[in-house]
Amino acid sequence: MNTLLDIQSVSKSFGGVKALDRVNVKVNEKQVALMIGPNGSGKTTLINVVSGFYAPDEGKIYFNGRDITALPPHQIYKLGLVRTFQIPSLFTRLTVLENLLVASKVNRGESFLKAPFTGSWLKDEEENLDKALKILQLLKIDHLWDLRASKLSGGQMKLLEIGRSLMSDAKMILLDEPISGVNPTLAHEIFTYILNLRDKLGLTFLIIEHRLDLALPYVDYVYVLAYGKLITQGEKEKVMRDSQVISAYLGG
C-alpha cells in the first residue's frame, strides 16, 4: 500500500500552547482514516498545518512523495490535497450549483477579466458545469441545484462543502468535522457518500470527528489526539479496546 500523506514529527505552538507536539500520521492511498480528540486537542491545527494555512514549527509533511512542508495553500490544493472547514465556507447568497462553479474558479486563481475571451474558457465552463452536476448527483443534492445555499439544512451544507472540495481533481480530502451539528441519520448518509467517493473516485480521506460512535463503522484506521499528542492509533478494533479511549469516548 502506498503512503499518500506522511506527517513526520510535526509541532506547532501558539504562544505557550503546544497545539501539536511531534505528531506522526501516515495515511495510505484509498484509506479512510479518522482522527478523534477532545476540544482543543489540536485536530484543526493539524489540518491547518497540512493544508498550508500555518507553517509547522518543526517536522515534515509529504504528499504523494513530495515535500509540501509550508507550501502555500493554493499549491497544496493544486497537488490534489484539499481541505474542508469546520464551519462551512459557503457563499450563502449563491445557489448550490453556483457554489460549486465558483469553487473551481477561486481555487484555480483565474482572472475574471481575461478568461472569458479565450476559446478554452467556454470549454472549461462546460466541463465545470458537467462536473458540478455529476457531483450534486453523487451527493444526491442535485434536486437542490437552484436553491440559495443559505436555505440549506446544516447537513446539506456539509454535503455541499464536500462537493466543493470535489471540484478540484482532489486525490485526498481532509474533512474537519463533516457531521457536526448533523442528525445521526444524515451523518450515516454523509459517511456512506464518503465511502462511495473512495470506491468510485479512488479518493483518500482523513476525517476529523468528535462523534466516535457514528464515525467508527466507516473508517479503516483511527488516530487519537489529546493535548497535541497522539496518544494511541491503530485498526479500529484495537483502538476501541483501549481503556483511555473507552473512558473518554465510549462512556465505558
Ligand X SMILES: Nc1ncnc2c1ncn2[C@@H]1O[C@H](COP(=O)(O)OP(=O)(O)OP(=O)(O)O)[C@@H](O)[C@H]1O
Alpha-carbon radius of gyration of the chain: 18
Cα 182 from Cα 188, distance rounded (Å): 10
Q: Look at residue 17 and give the partner it binds from Mg ion, ligand X, none, a contact being a CB closer than 5 to 8 Å depending on partner kind.
A: ligand X
Question: What separation in angstroms does the CA of 15 have from each of 18, 19, 26, 40, 135?
Answer: 8, 10, 27, 15, 41
What order of strands is seen across the sheet that includes strand 81-83? 81-83, 172-176, 204-208, 32-36, 221-226, 229-235
Q: Which of residues 32-61 bind ligand X (CB under 6 A)?
A: 37, 39-45
Q: Show the site string, 3-32: x = touches ligand X by CB under 6 A, - = not.
A: -----------x--x-x-------------
The residue (of 63 and 223) whose beta carbon lies closer to ligand X is: 223
Q: How far is CA 73 from the centre of its chain?
A: 14
Angle at 162 between CA 125 and CA 149, to 5 degrees: 75
Residue 89 is placed in which grid cell?
Answer: 465556507
Q: Look at residue 180 and give the partner it binds from ligand X, Mg ion, none, a contact being a CB closer than 5 to 8 Å depending on partner kind.
A: none
The residue (of 128 and 223) whose beta carbon lies closer to Mg ion is: 223
Q: Please report, to the nearest 10 degrees, the dihedral formed by the alpha carbons of residues 238, 239, 241, 243 taken in order.
A: 140
Which run of H or E residues covers position 137? Answer: helix 119-138
**Binding span for Mg ion by CB under 5 A among 36-44, 93-101, 222-230, 234-242:** 36-44
Minimum distance of Mg ion from residue 145's CB (angstroms) = 30
Is 11 among the residues that bind Mg ion (CB under 5 A)?
no
Could you tell me how many residues of this chain bind ligand X (CB under 6 A)?
12
Q: Which of 3, 8, 44, 64 binds Mg ion (CB under 5 A)?
A: 44
Minimum distance of ligand X from residue 34's CB (angstroms) = 13
Q: Look at residue 28 and give the partner it binds from ligand X, Mg ion, none, a contact being a CB closer than 5 to 8 Å depending on partner kind.
A: none
List contacts with Mg ion (CB under 5 A).
43-44
